[in-house]
Amino acid sequence: MRPTLAEISLKNLKFNYLSIKKKVKQRPVMAVVKADAYGHGMLKAVEALESLGDAKPFYYGVALLEEAVELRKSKLTNAPILTFSPVREDEIPEYLKFKIIPTFSSESQLEILKKYKVERKLKVHINVDTGMGRLGINYRTAFEVVREISEIENVTIDGIYTHFATSDEKNKSYALTQLGRFKEVLGELESENIKVGIIHAANSGAILDLPEAYFDMVRPGISLYGYYPSLETSESIKLKPVMKLVSQITTLKKVRKGESVSYGRIYFAKRNILAASVPIGYADGYNRALSNEGKGIVKGGVVKQIGRVTMDRILFDVTNAKVKVGSRIVLMGREGNKNFDAWEWSKILNTIPYEITCNISKRVPRIYVD
Ligand SMILES: Cc1ncc(COP(=O)(O)O)c(C=O)c1O
């Protein structure tokens, strides 16, 4: 078997989760496990979180009905599962069958809810758009729409939420504007005695730096997996990355001064070097834009990736690294006192760790190391 693996530390996942719980003073948590737990493996992540006894998640959050059904069918948890994507009419039977909670997020969906005759009541959460500008009922009309929903016989409002666009930025003024709009809607609903169930808003950025947004439950995603959502937040929760991408050196060869390696000849050896090939490439999520920029941690030291990243293979200059065929190499993550984690990748690729861990492809087996 190819030795390229994503090592997942469920111990670190639990550590991060409990650190978040502590930060929010043991408030209920909706663990966001969409996109296969940001590439870490949803079922294993849920299994680990479910082992935490009384501290375990109150809800789980996913993007899609398919993800929710997979989780429900696994029987790993009895917790409610919320999907963030707007519910489609043809999906409602499955929502009911698998006891999954859809998000209601636009006026046009009112008709779906109204005309659907069901024997059991459908629980929904309502997304209020306070400025994210993606999904949700506009905060200006939210009061009216929520009131209409509250009058639909077959529907129970189990919760109401909003989502921040900039809670991970240092300047919190827009997040505070969103929060103010949300509170205004909640105030109107309360004054009319309209029951909205569980109120939630805080993603990782808000959990770190906006305690006013905690309400009844918080919704961490990226922080569970050990990363701060941006480089601007506080680090007021200690986090440990959960995924480490590892492989082995499979061949070693001498490259003479002046010779090139790999496609496109973007790397020329400046002196005689020893080049190691490692069986990972862009088909595995090792982004091609890391060409000549990536790093590896091997034998306690850092080596440089050289030449174009190819579909299945990359090269490193290991001249000074005392490696041999079979030496373990860390391609993303921390080892010893060396670090080349998803934030280091993100700086090169002009992205965020979310995209990095999600993009480690299915071809890379996830192995659970503790
Ligand atoms: C509705 C919703 N809530 C919470 C989260 C978790 O956000 P984060 O990963 O920044 O903590 C997400 C993820 O994008 C989301 O879409």
Angle at 334 between CA 228 and CA 235, to 5 degrees: 25
Whether the CB of 35 sits within 6 Å of ligand 1 = no
pLDDT at residue 109, rounded to an integer: 85
203: Cβ below 6 Å to ligand 1?
Answer: yes
Question: What is the predicted pLDDT for the residue at 315?
Answer: 98
Distance 73 CA to ligand 1 centre (A): 23
The predicted pLDDT at position 103 comes to 96
Reported as a pLDDT band with limits 50, 70 and 90, residue 108 is confident
Model confidence pLDDT, tens digit, residues 129-161: 999 999 999 999 999 999 999 999 889 999 999
How much distance in Å is there from the Cα of 150 to the middle of ligand 1? 26
Candidates 3.60.40.10, 3.90.110.10, 3.20.20.10, 3.40.630.40; CATH matching 10-225: 3.20.20.10
The structure tokens listed for 52 are 């935490």
**pLDDT higher than 90, residue 261:** yes
Give the model's pLDDT for residue 181.
98
Residue 229 CB–ligand 1 contact under 6 Å: yes
Per-residue pLDDT, 115: 75
Q: How far is the CA of 222 from the centre of ligand 1 (A)?
A: 8
Q: Output the average pLDDT for the chain.
A: 96
Would you list the domain boundaries of the chain? 10-225, 243-368
Taken in order 192, 198, 204, 210, the sign of the CA dihedral is: positive
Which residue is closest in CA terms to ligand 1's atom 9?
A: 221
In ligand 1, the atom with minimum distance to the C-alpha of 168 is: 10
- Does the Cβ of 366 fall within 6 Å of ligand 1? no
Tell me the pTM. 0.97
pLDDT grade, residue 118 (50/70/90)? low
Active site residues: 34, 263
β pairing state of 137-138 and 122-129: parallel
| pLDDT band for position 218 (cuts 50, 70, 90) | very high
Element housing 84 (H / E):
strand 81-86
At 161-196, the pLDDT tens digits run 999 999 999 999 999 999 999 999 999 999 999 999
Residue pLDDT, tens place only, 189-217: 999 999 999 999 999 999 999 999 999 99
77 CB within 6 A, ligand 1: no
Please, are residues 90 and 115 in contact by the beta-carbon 8 Å criterion?
A: no
Contacts with 340 (C-beta within 8 Å, 6 or more apart), sequence order: 294, 295, 296, 297, 302, 330, 331, 332, 333, 334
Class of domain 243-368: mainly beta
Average pLDDT over residues 31-47: 98
